[in-house]
C-alpha cells in the first residue's frame, strides 16, 4: 500500500527489498530505530537435519537473521 502512495509502512529493510533500493520507497524517519527482530529456528535434531531446513537457515542467515545459530552450531548442522 505504501508503494501505491496510500500511506507509510514500518517494515524491516530486508522485507522492502528492491523497492527501497530502486527508490520506489523512501525512508521518512531515519532517526527512528525499529526494535530488533528476533527469529528462532526450532528443529528436533541437528544430527540428521533435512537439507530443506539447512537451506532455510542459510537463507535467514543471508538476511542477517540467524547468524548466531549458524555460528554456535555449524559443526552440528
Are 75 and 56 in the same domain? yes
- Percent with pLDDT over 90 in the chain: 0
Domain that holds residue 59: 38-77
Give ∠ CA 43-45-48 in degrees, rounded to 5. Answer: 115
pTM comes to 0.42
Q: How far is CA 37 from CA 19, 27, 31, 54, in A?
A: 20, 19, 18, 20
Are 51 and 75 in the same domain? yes
Q: Domain tally for the chain? A: 2
What are the pLDDT digits (tens) for 40-75? 777 777 778 888 888 888 887 777 655 555 444 444
Q: What is the pLDDT of residue 68?
A: 53
Q: What's the CA gap between 58 and 67, in Å, rounded?
A: 9
Amino acid at each position: 500500500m505504501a508503494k501505491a502512495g496510500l500511506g507509510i509502512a514500518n517494515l524491516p529493510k530486508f522485507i522492502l527489498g528492491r523497492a527501497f533500493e530502486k527508490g520506489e520507497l523512501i525512508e521518512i524517519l531515519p532517526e527512528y530505530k525499529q526494535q530488533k527482530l528476533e527469529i528462532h529456528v526450532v528443529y528436533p535434531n541437528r544430527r540428521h537435519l533435512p537439507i530443506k531446513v539447512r537451506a532455510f537457515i542459510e537463507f535467514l542467515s543471508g538476511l542477517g537473521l540467524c547468524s548466531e545459530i549458524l555460528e554456535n552450531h555449524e559443526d552440528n548442522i
